[in-house]
Amino acid sequence: MNLLLVEDDPMLARGIAVALSKSGYVVTIAATAGDALCMARSNSFNIGILDLGLPDRDGMDLLGDLRAAGATFPILILSARAGLNDRIRGLDTGADDYLVKPFALAELEARLRALLRRQEDDSVWRRLGRLQFDSAGKRALVDDSEVELTSRECIVLDMLLRNAGKVVSKQKLFDTVFTFESDAAPNALEVQVSRLRQKLKAAGVTIRALRGLGYRIESGNEISP
Ligand code: CA
């Protein structure tokens, strides 16, 4: 289980990380909102813990940005802010649970387990050709063997599969995949799509480029223009 821990207090972060590592989590610590966004873009997380008082930005804003960027993993807010309004706002902004500091480690772990169980129940496998994809768990299978995808490739594939047989505009895909990268190269999306095509060669699906319109995923192994 890959866990993103956003916490700027080094002692607390280390304490949580050590305890969770013993329970089998692979913990990545981000001490700032900037780091957290960066890590969420380049890694595939199963779950996250989010402190609200961060040095560079408020955790609430970070949460909104993570969700807008397509981060779908469950996030638990762990904060000293105990007010009802804070808790409501956190959940409304896209958090899945809220635990107030000080807290008991055993309760944190129990809540994480509950969130992961709920996510498993929610996961929907989409199928096309010989490809199966679970967007919640970010897993792709071709004939039951796992295909390793990056988090960006997962976002592209998820959007295409949700709209299988229909065209998804390049702009929409680009904005979703590169939300926070004003410096992303114009052909960055094409690069992602072409990697995805390579990885899905055996899947019996085609990602077709429609000039001026966008991309469409369909079953069948035709050569894409
Ligand atoms: Ca803090």
pLDDT at res. 193:
96
Q: Which amino acid is it at 66?
A: L
- The protein residues having their C-beta less than 5 angstroms from ligand 1 (an ion) are 8, 51, 53
When pLDDT is averaged across residues 55-70 and rounded to a whole number, the result is: 92
The average confidence (pLDDT) of the chain is: 90
Q: Say if CB 38 and CB 6 are below 8 A apart.
A: no
- Whether 113 and 131 share a structural domain: no
Higher pLDDT, 72 or 110: 110
Q: Are residues 94 and 197 in the same domain?
A: no
Asked if residue 92 has pLDDT above 70, the reply is yes
**Is there a domain that residue 223 lies in?**
no
| Tens digits of residue pLDDT in 121-160 | 666 788 899 999 987 778 899 998 999 998 889 889 988 9
CA of 78 to the centre of ligand 1 (A): 9
Domain check: are 42 and 116 in the same one? yes
Give phi and psi for 80, each to the nearest 5: -80, -15
Q: Are residue 111 and residue 170 in the same domain, yes or no?
A: no
pLDDT attached to residue 225: 45
Strand partners, 205: 219
Cα–Cα distances in angstroms (integers) from residue 59 to residues 105, 110, 165, 170, in the given order? 21, 23, 38, 31
| Structural domains in the chain (count) | 2
Domain C-terminal end among 67, 88, 121 = 121
Give distance in angstroms: CA of 98 to centre of ligand 1: 15
pLDDT at 14 over 50: yes
Over residues 161-220, the pLDDT tens digits come to: 988 889 999 988 887 788 656 677 878 999 999 999 999 998 989 999 999 899 999 998
Do β-strands 145-147 and 139-142 pair in parallel, antiparallel, or remain unpaired? antiparallel
152 and 106 share one domain: no
Could you tell me if 134 and 35 lie in one domain?
Answer: no
Please identify, among 90, 121, 152, the residue that sits at the C-terminal boundary of a domain.
121
Residue-range definition of the domain harbouring residue 18:
2-121
